[in-house]
Structure 1
Amino acid sequence: MAVDRTLPTQEAEDLIDLTRELAEKELGKRVNEHEVDERYPDGLFALLGRAGLLGLPYPEEHGGGGQPYEVYLQVLEELAIQWAAVAVATSVHTLACYPLHAFGTSAQRERWLPRMLAGEFLGGYSLSEPQAGSDAAALTCKAERVEDGYRISGTKAWITHGGKADFYALFARTAPGTRGISCFLAPGATEGLAFGRPERKMGLNAIPTTSAMWDGAVIDSDRLIGDEGQGLEIAFSALDGGRLGIAACATGLAQAALDTAVAYANERTTFGRKIVDHQGLGFLLADMAAAVDSARATYLDAAHRRDLGRPFSRQASVAKLVATDAAMKVTTDAVQVLGGYGYTRDFPVERYMREAKIMQIFEGTNQIQRLVISRHLVR
């Protein structure tokens, strides 16, 4: 079911229509086989890049789409309605471009950003480590100054598109303490960089998530983004936008689950009438719809604040919390609506439920979001 959207311009409406058509044609027809087979969708991100969907919130002068964040997020939602893993990977790519856009020099942006925003270079975000997930300040991967640049040593974890990306927004320690973390635009093909086998996940299986082992790999000094010691500022600034991306993906996933449940309830009959006409089930579907609409309104409010240049960090955490909790509830309820069929792989709702769980965890667990929100409230 097409989502009824209120968009700021005719250009934005056309963009959403294009995205919906492309997603239904290119993502919808491939998602089931690729997720079941855990097979990477070769060529798909190049196609999204050619369609202009991999650089939407960035300036046109660097090859971006020049779109407001609230439009970009609705594009993500449309992608997620068809294929959550692809939408999440698109969000991560956008996140990985942010440090260069916001903190890079003019020369760095001119050199790399156009090809990144065009999708010629696909990006990954490399912040987490095996013992430093929510606590980013505890990371231990080191970047040591050497004559030719920086020597990177250590292990990173939970990298979406690990081993597939052309570049990584890499965060590594250049000095002790919280002010000793720096950000690098690290090339994916680097001698001394190796990736672990893809994690065996509950969902989002078509896109690999891996660890990365940096064994004394040397990257050029001009790969430093911002100043030494500015890494945590860059990381946390980027994550506000990344959390909105996940909120939009979660909303799209919940919408897909709702659509499937409504369609099934309109076809399945018990006791001589459609099951949607039974009040108990009708009320359940109504609650699901209310959760989806609330999630969408929440992420759009935060995005609107961002577009106006107003503080939006608390609202980003609220959106991530509300939308991902809603996705978990709505997908679980969709399984319930379908009954025994919902527990089988003949219908996609069991996959939706598995995919929803991780959205409560990555880009900051929902417990971390509650911590962020509460700290804003007492300031």
Structure 2
Amino acid sequence: MNIKKTLAFFGIVALLCGGTTPVFAQKDLTKFLKQLWGPKNLFFNRSPSLKQTFPKINWQALDNMAFAQVSTQQVLSAATPLFMPKVSVDVPRPLLPAPQKIKRAVFTLQYDPKTHGKGSAFAVKIDGQVWGVTARHVLDDIGRSPYMSLKTPAGQELFFQVFSVREGNVHGADIAVFRIPPQALDYITPLQPDYVLPTPEEQVQSAGFSHGNFGWFPRVDVLFASNHRILARYENFPVRSGYCGSPVLKNGKVMGVFVGIMPQELAQTAAWFSLVSNSFPTPIHSFTQIVPISWVLRLVRQEKSGLPIESTVPVKVLGKTIAWLHPDENIVSIQQMRNGNLIKTIPAYPFMNYSHLEAFLEIQPLDRIYVTIQQGDRSSSRKRIFVYALDTASGKVTHTERK
């Protein structure tokens, strides 16, 4: 058996038996192959029926191999007859070619040119200037002065160091912006922003890197969209490390930043807070979270003008603005008091519609509504907590800082 068949066989076995990363340790691989394909052919000779009883190919497992270095069509085609001789393998969907202008806008970030830990990022043109964008938590992992990796038309890899200039809150607007060095602009075509939120069931696209390999997803189904967070489902999406920070696009323009997967335990909570009946029509594990590109605009304008009012988002109850949410802030909780008694406490989530908090409360005329907002998060040198209170009877709003 040639080496391509062997590598592909090992990769599929590993994925079918519980999953593994696409990079295999050489020592373990060598040991495995000696046992499997040695002179005594232990694997099949000890159990000849395995050829007939081996489980059918898990197509999700094959999709998960899309980013693996061994998962070319040639290798997969060579390995498949080992399991199902009559099955032919198509190129995995994530390997579909992306438009060239999209590929020129998306790149990777890493701690330094010699390390392998990477995140995705992209270039966007806002107010006449080109900015780099990634997920805020990516910088928590690789540092705030990482290197962007670009390739020349000839395939040469170039590295340029960048520095974070503005960051959102990892629990809310989980994004960060940085300036792109002028010498890197020759190898980049920045995207244009689209600030209009997508509608549920609308199809958008996405592109990014995982394990250093580029992936293009021409179909992403929007499930829910608000000014704070978009929930979506990727078709045939092999979730891999490094994809956070990639752009989500609509008609070639960037409308959001991919920031992660929805934890399973929050899926039904997300459905309720989003005022969606029952639950979303998609498997729980497929939820993905996207920060609208409008938050990138707010960070850029904060950098250029300090803290203008357009860089904030109103938090409203019954049409009354009780607070302004900045990109580096997140809502911690919402409480409803009546006659001095606590009626309800709601832990806030970024996919709530903060413009209509009354939708989650049964408000009566004498109620008081408290919204707790935290400025800064886990990497901040100093966190500040503010409590905003609305007296529904008088419409008066007060706020205090919690010491």
Range class of TM-score, shorter chain: under 0.3
| Higher gyration radius (CA) | 2
Q: TM-score, normalised by structure 1?
A: 0.27
Higher strand share: 2
Higher relative contact order (CA 8 A, sep 6+): 1
Q: TM-score, normalised by structure 2?
A: 0.26
Higher helix share: 1
